[in-house]
Amino acid sequence: MQNFRPENIPTAISAFQPDGEVPVLNELHLEGGQCCIFKADFSDGESWSVRIPIHVQSDSQDVIINVLQAERDVLQEINRKGFRWAPKYLGSSFTFQNLVGFPFLALSWIEGSPLSWSPVDPPRPLRDKVLGQIAEIQMSLIECTKENRGTATKYFLRLIDNKLRRVRKGELPRLTEQDCFEQRRLLPQVLHLELENAPYAIDHGDLSPQNILADSEYNVTGIIDWGFAAKVPIQLAGRLPRLLQLQEPVLPPSRTLQQDRKTYIASLTSHSSEAASWISLIHSCKDVDFRDCFLESVISKGAHQLLARLGWKLPYRDLQSAGSCDGR
């Protein structure tokens, strides 16, 4: 951080403009999960977003660069596929030896404010309007990035076994070998047999209100912060968006959350695409919350610790038998 020079951002990104114009750095400065976000304004009214990963939890420069390159790759793919809710990739620098003193991405700026979302705000029917748009966004992302890569079981077993190796090396002191064995044992009961050979697709990774931009009339204008996005099995890419997940795994879904999910599923079932059928299957299971928490535990150490502490069940719902989805 000692060499970080944000005042040089305008000059650094001017190299990506055909005429070399140096923009004005806007006073607006945002903090994301992994990145600092700066806004640069050009004379023609166009604005760019400059993402700098200064909050990545690593002392390794290679790790920080790899995180940014992975985000670049995702954005380039969805830009090529015509996914219209993501920022456009405009340029990048993957070195600490640049004018800014830190790697960065230059992206198009998306107007709008982070979605205001609570159990009472927005009220219906605005709430239903937003949920319908998010359903369309999730379906569109899956449809335009789906790709045959292998089985879901192979993907998740690889993650679990990698975690087990780290536990044995002492790198994950809050997890035990038994925690990993239990996760491995339950995996076949959690995965949907019907989707074992379904394609992989890009999952945003954090489709939460702060990453969903909307205008004053609750029209979604874009999705930001693709730093956690990756191509994963449909069973992960099609799971509940963050704003429809349980906030407290020990508590059952509230009435508002249950109604939100019904609206979301109804939006899906109104479409005839493959993506809509896959997501509908995932969301319509009675034990959707356990399955969702379980898959989160595979990719998150904190979720793994919590679910293991709960005895691999939610206090209000046991795991149903595999394939117990009836759409109700």
pLDDT for the residue numbered 319:
53
The whole-number mean pLDDT for each consecutive block of 10 residues of the chain, a chain of 328 residues, reads 87 96 89 87 96 88 94 97 97 96 97 94 96 96 96 98 97 96 97 96 95 97 95 95 90 93 91 90 90 95 95 76 45
pLDDT for the residue numbered 321:
43
Pick the closest to residue 68 from 29, 24, 98, 28 (CA basis): 98
Angle value at C-alpha 279, between 205 and 285, nearest 5 degrees? 105
Handedness of CA 196, 202, 206, 208 (dihedral sign): negative
Given the structure tokens 């960065």, which residue do they identify? 104
Pick the closest to residue 293 from 280, 305, 276 (CA basis): 305
pLDDT for the residue numbered 224:
95
Model pTM score: 0.91
In this structure, what DSSP letter does residue 203 have?
E
Length, in residues, of the chain: 328
pLDDT for the residue numbered 208:
93
Residue 313, SS3 per DSSP: coil
pLDDT for the residue numbered 328:
36
Full set of structural domains in the chain with CATH: 6-109 (3.30.200.20), 114-309 (3.90.1200)
Q: Crossing angle, helix 126-145 and helix 61-80, to 10 degrees?
A: 100
Angle value at C-alpha 106, between 101 and 109, nearest 5 degrees? 135
